[in-house]
Amino acid sequence: MSRKVPLLVTYKLSPANLGRIEAHSPDLKVYYSPENLHVEKHLPEAEIVFGHLEPAYLRLAPKLRWVHLAYAGAESMLYPELIESDIVLTTSRGIHKHQMTELLFGMMLTFTRKLRTFDKQKAQKVWDVSPFREMELLSGSTIGILGLGSIGSEIAKVAKGFGMRVMGLRNNPALPAQHVDVVLGPENLQHLLEESDHLVVVLPLTKKTRNLITRKEFDLMKQRPYFYNLARGAIVNEEDLIRALREGKIKGAGLDVFVEEPLPASSPLWEMENVIVTPHVGGFLPHYMTEAVTLFLENLQRYLEGKELLNVVIKERGY
């Protein structure tokens, strides 16, 4: 390669991870503007950005051809200026599947094995076996997974290990899906809602999925399932979720995402005994950015070699 490709990194990285990028190829000219510090100085030259850019910054980058995000969701970058441009957008989809699956099953077992009840008994030094009568098994129950991407597929795999019946919903139900007993298209959402004992949302946030779960959908949940949202808060109407909890339409909710984050102190969800709240940490790992940089470097090598990139976002689809 006769010229050096200008690469701008705007994420705040450890020296080790930044060093991995700088040492990746002699064909790169790496600029570092952590958290957009002095980013305006480098944007006019940048061909690649590893980081998030606001619309105002995008206008300062006439040579930009590719943006890679360290996270799975693309909605924060899908503003009109980016959508209408020729800039390729890729994400770090796929590096979250294990940690999010483990969080989900931690929530599920907390509910079904009454772990909160026993934890309260421990704090009070009470030995009482009666709560065991209310325990439930995952084995033999049905899990409905809204979204069969990398995370949903991993959830399905683990669910089968627990002996669960697995139903999944995806845009194209004709695509193969391992570990899934029933694959449904969006038009059959009602059937999935009616059959599920545990219902988990792991869909991307798009125009079609925004406010997908409302009072109407909660009313269709015949099994009074446990409900989990690990995707984006705006996929679920939060007021309708609170109403469904109060009316007993669902047994409980495990929530990692919310319409407003941080979740306001005034939200009733904080006080509800049958709700688990975690602060949008489902995808976190102690060394998350190391994983994200590894994926970025794989894509970067593909870019330098003129190969097809991984996790390209179809802008019109939203993911």
Which residues are marked as active site? 232, 261, 280
Asked if residues 91 and 72 have their Cβ atoms less than 8 Å apart, the reply is: yes
**Distance between CA atoms of residues 21 and 19, nearest Å:** 5
Cα torsion at 61, 66, 67, 73 (round to 10°)?
Answer: 140
Task: Indicate the SS3 state at residue 280.
Answer: coil
Specify the 3-state DSSP secondary structure of 270: helix
Helix boundaries (H) for the chain: 15-22, 55-58, 80-83, 97-112, 115-124, 150-161, 189-195, 215-219, 238-246, 288-304
Q: CA 9 to CA 156: how far, in whole Å?
A: 35
Cα separation, 295 vs 24, in Å, equals 13
**How far is 272 from 287, CA to CA, in rounded Å?**
33
Cβ atoms of 91 and 311 within 8 Å: the answer is yes
Closest CA to 300 of 3, 8, 2: 8
Cα 317 from Cα 139, distance rounded (Å):
36
* Pair 118, 293: CB distance under 8 Å: no
Nearest to 257 by CA among 86, 107, 49, 88: 107
